[in-house]
Amino acid sequence: MTVSGLAGSDETTLVAQARQSDATAFSELVRRYENKIFRLALHITQNREDAEDVLQETFLKAYEHLDQFQGNSKFYTWIVRIGVNQALMKLRRRKTDKTVSMDEQFDTGEDTLVREIAAWDEDPEERFSRDELGRILDAAIQGLEPLYRSVFVLRDIEDLSTEETAQALDLSIPAVKSRLLRARLQLREKLTRHFKRKGDNAFAYL
Amino acid sequence: MLTCKDFLRELSDYLDESLGVEARTQLEQHIAACPNCWVIADTTKKTIRVYKGMDPYPIPPDVEARLMQALERKMAAKQPK
């Protein structure tokens, strides 16, 4: 990507210029968000090839439909929504036998998700190299159901608000909240295996 | 008095600091008296923290080049006359 003089430009201005078919302005928007879109595509699809496709499809679609961007949400939220839809579509195609439904029902027995309780060190991640840590975190996320994964990635990795996540995934706010809680508790459970303080034994809960 | 189940239900909002003062105080009182819930809150908070600190995934140069080529083709097709 060429370095443009637009790096410090305000997003609304860039979007307005891009709408006037200003290619440099759109390239600057791509440059700002491509890493985030690639990361979320990797997390959701768990497949490098799919993530590369999602990255490309997302920005092509965004460019094509730029006139449909209303400007009442942030451009980033809008583009994340396109990216998530592309990523979920890939997943659906891969798992033809198992549909990924956005409205599936689930029980709210969050308490059943707590099986192991053991304290962690203050900075448990410091026990591992960056590579090891990356593998542990990726493997834990990979074990989540796609929809829990998507909610967690948007809320806790990409830092979207609950409302923005609901918008991006077409979910209600309570649905985002309960999925986020389950995702967090499931990840906590998986990470406890690696992060629990040495010498501590898990004790039964309740 | 809050039960551990009540605490768990509110855990996400508690960690996101999106609770009102009264609800927050109740949860804090529960944690202070319940070592299990303290551990759950602490380890869930650390779970979120380690994920937030994850290294970004750089886009491989060939993938970046393909993206730019595809965009340039699209943009060229959409240029005003």
Q: Does B58 touch chain A (CB under 8 A)?
A: yes
Give the H/E segment covering residue A13: helix A11-19
Q: Mutate which of A138, A156, A158, A194 to disrupt the B interface (most B C-beta within 10 Å)?
A: A156
pLDDT, residue B6, reads 92
If you measure CA to CA, which chain B residue comes closest to A125? B50
User: Do A22 and A56 share a domain, yes or no?
Assistant: yes
Binned at pLDDT 50, 70 and 90, residue B37 comes out as very high
Model confidence at A111: pLDDT above 90: no
User: Do A76 and A17 share a domain, yes or no?
Assistant: yes
Model confidence at B15: pLDDT above 90: yes
Mean pLDDT of all residues belonging to chain A: 85
Q: Does B77 touch chain A (CB under 8 A)?
A: no
Q: What is the mean pLDDT of residues A95-120?
A: 60
User: Do A67 and A124 share a domain, yes or no?
Assistant: no
Total tally of structural domains belonging to chain A: 2
Total tally of structural domains belonging to chain B: 1
Q: What is the mean pLDDT of residues A108-136?
A: 82
In this structure, is residue A144 part of a structural domain?
A: yes
Task: CATH number of the domain at B27, please.
Answer: 1.10.10
Query: For residue B57, which amino acid is it?
Result: Y
pLDDT, residue A37, reads 94
User: Do A114 and A190 share a domain, yes or no?
Assistant: yes
User: Do A64 and A131 share a domain, yes or no?
Assistant: no
Note the pLDDT tens digit of each residue in A27-36.
Answer: 999 999 999 9
A156/B48 CB distance under 8 A = yes
Note the pLDDT tens digit of each residue in A53-103.
Answer: 999 999 999 999 998 887 777 898 899 999 999 999 998 888 754 444 444
A34/B39 CB distance under 8 A = no
Task: CATH number of the domain at A45, please.
Answer: 1.10.1740.10
Q: Does B52 touch chain A (CB under 8 A)?
A: yes
Q: Which domain holds residue B28?
A: 4-78
Task: CATH number of the domain at A173, please.
Answer: 1.10.10.10
Distance from CA of B67 to the nearest CA of A (A): 5
pLDDT, residue A117, reads 87
If you measure CA to CA, which chain B residue comes closest to A1? B68
- What is the spatial distance between Cα B43 and Cα A174, in angstroms, rounded to a whole number? 23
In this structure, is residue A203 part of a structural domain?
A: no
For chains A and B, CB pairs below 8 A equal: 120
Q: Which of B40, B54, B71 sits opposite A60 (nearest CB)?
A: B71
- What is the spatial distance between Cα B16 and Cα A203, in angstroms, rounded to a whole number? 27
Q: Which of A38, A66, A94 is where one domain is finished? A: A94
- What is the spatial distance between Cα A32 and Cα A168, in angstroms, rounded to a whole number? 19
Does A74 or A204 have the greater pLDDT score?
A74
In this structure, is residue A174 part of a structural domain?
A: yes
Q: Which domain holds residue A170?
A: 110-195
Binned at pLDDT 50, 70 and 90, residue A141 comes out as very high
Binned at pLDDT 50, 70 and 90, residue A114 comes out as confident
Q: Which two structure tokens, joined as six digits, stand for B65?
A: 């080049």
Binned at pLDDT 50, 70 and 90, residue A203 comes out as low
Does B45 or A96 have the greater pLDDT score?
B45
In this structure, is residue A100 part of a structural domain?
A: no
- What is the spatial distance between Cα B23 and Cα B75, in angstroms, rounded to a whole number? 53
In this structure, is residue A150 part of a structural domain?
A: yes
CA distances from A195 to A123, A186, A191 (A): 9, 14, 6
Q: Which two structure tokens, joined as six digits, stand for A103?
A: 């409205």
Binned at pLDDT 50, 70 and 90, residue A201 comes out as low
Give yes or no for a contact between B29 and A197, defined as CB atoms under 8 angstroms apart. no
Average the pLDDT over each of A7-11, A56-60, A97-101, B55-59 and give the range with the smallest value: A97-101
Model confidence at A154: pLDDT above 90: yes
B55/A134 CB distance under 8 A = yes
In this structure, is residue A103 part of a structural domain?
A: no
In this structure, is residue A104 part of a structural domain?
A: no
Give yes or no for a contact between A54 and A90, defined as CB atoms under 8 angstroms apart. yes
User: Do A142 and A85 share a domain, yes or no?
Assistant: no
In this structure, is residue A2 part of a structural domain?
A: no
Q: Which of A114, A157, A195 sits opposite B52 (nearest CB)?
A: A157
